[in-house]
């Protein structure tokens, strides 16, 4: 007798999931049986590659939907489209992010606004749009970063780290606000993960420095993060709520 997949019948949205961690999370949720919306902004081909990989694997299924979730109009339209297509939304993984670090004297309002639009406004207003449709058992999973927890913070991460602090406060407060409805809200905070987002703007020497900071002397991979997100999406995680889980191989403890 076959055992049902843990996310069979669930509909999951993963923002920013055409590449990197988001793509790995989308594929893992689908492997657990979910119907996954692979959200992207500009790289339709990469998003379709993720969708094709999911659909060919034969567990869950996926479609790609474009939306710039830093636009409240786009995020509302995205949620409306999902509800129109599937009738429900059970799991929201707020992975879309921006990391473009600068030294203090080079910061400008555009850099500040871009970070807060993508890393703070986007997840908040995506949840606002989705909240009326969420039922008991729904799961909300934010993305923070280990940089918000390191005693020896990385230089030039002032704006990026501030946005992740905001996301962790969203997690704590929404866990209280939505908990009575049986909705859990959690957050994951990966350390340095070997993705295009992480490597952007860094020299090979700096990347090696980050790798050597870990007890295991390597960067994390998207596949190190995806199983933790998948657990938080399952019924088994029902008593985990309001938590930020660090996924960093022991870099910050």
Name the active-site residue from 135, 160, 202, 237. Answer: 160
Q: For residue 217, give Cα distances in angstroms to 21, 211, 220.
A: 20, 5, 10
Using one digit for the tens of pLDDT, what is the confidence trace for 122-140?
A: 999 999 999 999 999 999 9
Per-residue pLDDT, 151: 61
Per-residue pLDDT, 116: 98
Length of the chain: 253
Give me the sign of the Cα torsion angle 216, 222, 225, 231.
negative
Instruction: Determine how many CB atoms are found less than 10 A away from the CB of residue 64.
Output: 22
- CB neighbour burial string for 149-169, b if at least 16 within 10 angstroms, e if fewer: bbeeebeebbbbbebbebbbe
Q: Tell me if 18 sits within 8 A of 43, measured CB to CB.
A: yes
Name the active-site residue from 10, 17, 40, 164. Answer: 164
Q: Is the pTM value of this prediction over 0.85?
A: yes
Name the active-site residue from 18, 145, 151, 157. Answer: 145
Using one digit for the tens of pLDDT, what is the confidence trace for 202-230?
A: 899 989 998 998 999 999 999 999 999 99
- Residue 176 annotated to the active site: no
| Residue ranges in the chain modelled with pLDDT below 70 | 1, 151-155
Q: Tell me if 241 sits within 8 A of 175, measured CB to CB.
A: yes
Return the closest-CA partner of residue 193 out of 102, 97, 118: 97
Give me the sign of the Cα torsion angle 190, 90, 81, 4.
positive
Per-residue pLDDT, 235: 97
- Residue 135 annotated to the active site: no
- Residue 160 annotated to the active site: yes
Per-residue pLDDT, 152: 59
Per-residue pLDDT, 115: 97
């Amino acid at each position: 007798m076959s055992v049902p997949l843990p996310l069979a019948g669930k509909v999951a949205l993963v923002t920013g999931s055409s590449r990197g961690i988001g793509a790995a999370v989308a594929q893992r949720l689908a492997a657990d049986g979910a119907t996954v919306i692979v959200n992207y902004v500009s790289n339709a081909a990469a998003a379709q590659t993720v969708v094709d990989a999911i659909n060919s694997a034969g567990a869950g299924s996926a479609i790609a939907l474009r939306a710039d979730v830093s636009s409240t109009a786009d995020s509302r339209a995205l949620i409306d489209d999902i509800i129109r297509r599937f009738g429900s939304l059970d799991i929201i993984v707020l992975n879309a992010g921006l990391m473009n670090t600068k030294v203090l004297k080079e910061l400008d309002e555009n850099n500040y606004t871009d970070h807060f639009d993508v890393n703070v406004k986007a997840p908040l207003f995506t949840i606002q749009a989705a909240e009326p449709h969420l039922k008991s058992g729904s799961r909300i999973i934010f993305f923070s970063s280990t940089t918000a927890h390191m005693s020896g913070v990385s230089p030039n991460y002032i704006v990026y780290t501030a946005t992740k602090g905001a996301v962790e406060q969203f997690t704590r407060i929404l866990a209280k606000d939505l908990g009575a409805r049986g909705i859990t809200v959690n957050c994951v905070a990966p350390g340095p993960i070997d993705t295009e987002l992480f490597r952007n703007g860094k020299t090979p020497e700096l990347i090696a420095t980050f790798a050597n900071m870990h007890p295991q002397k390597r960067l994390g991979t998207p596949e190190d993060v995806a199983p933790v997100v998948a657990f938080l999406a399952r019924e088994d995680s029902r008593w985990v709520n309001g938590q930020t889980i660090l996924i960093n191989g022991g870099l910050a403890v």
